[in-house]
Amino acid sequence: MKWIKAIATIGLLLVILLGAKTVENQGITVLVDGVEAGGQPFGIVDVSDRQLYVTVDFAAEVLGGEVFWNSDHKTAYIKKGRTCLMLPVGEGKPQVNGQELERGEPARDIRGAACVQLKSVSEALGYTFAWREDDREVALSSPPAQSGITRPRYADFHRQGMVSISYDDGCSSHYNLAYPLHLKYNLPASFNIVTGWTDTPGRVTRAQVLELSRAGFEIASHSDTHPNRKGRFFKDLTPEEANTEVLTSKNKLVSWGVPRVEGFVVPGSVYGDWLVPIVSQHYQYTRCLQGRKDATRPVESGRSCLLEYTPNLDRKNLPSFCVVNGQSAEDVIKLIDQAAAEKKWLILMMHKLGNDKTDYYTWDPSQMEKLLRYIASKPRSELLVVPLQDGVRFDMGLGDYRCQNITAFASTSQAAAGDKVLLMARGYDSSGVEVPMASGFNPRWTVVSGDAELVDCQDGTALLTAGGKGLVMVRCSDASDPEKYSDVLLTIKGRFW
């Protein structure tokens, strides 16, 4: 990301909602990666929840995005990389890549300017937001600069050895330590989120979950409250309580913008047979510890975690090998070599990464990097690294996700000659579920007719520069199946209305 170096203090109009009393000329500083951001917007601080409203243009500037306007529908768009925010003014829910922001509010018209919550907008773009009361500062921290990982395709699968790396509990170390390592070695993984724990100390935030998803990683459910505390496991829940856990967690993840939540990871790996049909209603697979539904037997070697493919694979009860404190990367590598030699599937269960030698489930980050470096050195023909949802699909012969329908749209239906227009598209399967760009949807943009220049951003969006007056038709098709497409019609006027 380009670092923001301009220095200035924002002169803001503050409205303290208690009593609607107006206080003029209060200074608030916005820091981006520790550097003060330039600009002179006005905004509002809601003292009750520390909300700072700034102009849409200022938000885009400090966050490194580009603004597009639709005056007819009173909507602003902020695009940065693969992320597109739709911000209605006055009413309606903001959306990020077509999914509503659960906590987002529409932009507000404040003295003739469209203003947005800096917190919700910055977090939707992957930033970390912090309000420092004593210093009257907003501190924004940029997301990692890397764009994401490349997941394997079905054509890479030849029933060779496979390995999956599965992180439980949504620990902050998964984002701070594991995520950069997987980006460094271009290796996919599955992150299993306890939705009720997000945005709490030591856990990932909702914005970080969404960033992991957009970077190409699988996001799976690890329940909503992780009910294995105080001796009460999933087997002790009533069917109604269990259904609430598995469904609430999935619904939350989907509402945050995760396009496909297909896996359920059982907290504590202790559950009864009655749970299987409940989970199967909402998920494609269930992962547990070493394939056992009880925790009465001692942990054995990882031998029982080397999975054979169909017809011997039970996706409703996928065993995993738990990597714990005291084990070395070499210990795990021996299992991986066995999986490769015997052409079987090994699922690794990881928890927190850190240097705490007293915590049984914490693993040394240096050992993690040594393990990932070794895995990345293996050729795909010998060892295929997959998130669990891909491993299940490949084993079942379902192939890659298939895009059956495309919806393309523009930031505005009318523009003036010389204006830039943002074009966006999403692909869906036959069930109406969004197909991720990382695995199954490959949009390509072309100008069918009219006077316009087009730049395909290779991220599902395109930028069109309008030429002369008239109609312009733009088409978005799937590169793997050009017969599937969606057209967008634009009216270009001689001057701005």
CA distances from 79 to 6, 283, 363, 401 (A): 21, 32, 38, 26
Beta bridge partners of 192: 168, 220
Pairing of strands 481-493, 414-416: parallel
**Contact of 413 with 243, CB cutoff 8 Å:** no
CA distances from 130 to 32, 51, 75, 180, 315 (A): 11, 11, 27, 22, 41
Torsion sign, CA atoms 254, 95, 196, 211: positive
Give the pLDDT of residue 36: 82
CA distances from 386 to 107, 126, 308, 446 (A): 40, 24, 15, 33
Radius of gyration of the chain (CA): 24
Assigned CATH class of 10-141: alpha beta
d(CA 287, CA 308): 15
d(CA 158, CA 380): 10
**Closest listed residue to residue 415, CA positions, set 8, 59, 69, 77:** 69
* DSSP structure class, residue 174: I
Span 154-396 CATH architecture:
Alpha-Beta Barrel (3.20)
* DSSP structure class, residue 250: H
Domain locations along the chain: 10-141, 154-396, 405-493
Give the pLDDT of residue 275: 82
**Contact of 138 with 118, CB cutoff 8 Å:** yes
**The two domains 10-141 and 154-396 share their CATH topology (first three levels equal):** no
* DSSP structure class, residue 481: E
Kindly report whether the peptide bond that precedes residue 311 is cis, defined as omega within 30 degrees of 0: yes
**Contact of 376 with 152, CB cutoff 8 Å:** no
3-state secondary structure of 68: strand
d(CA 45, CA 13): 8
d(CA 206, CA 197): 10
**Contact of 427 with 433, CB cutoff 8 Å:** no
> In this structure, which topology does domain 405-493 adopt according to CATH?
Immunoglobulin-like (2.60.40)
Could you report the average pLDDT of every consecutive run of 10 residues in the chain (497 residues)? 32 30 53 76 46 84 86 82 82 78 78 83 84 81 72 92 97 96 95 96 92 91 84 81 93 89 89 82 88 39 74 89 93 95 96 93 96 96 96 90 87 84 86 73 89 82 86 90 89 65
d(CA 198, CA 224): 10
d(CA 43, CA 47): 13
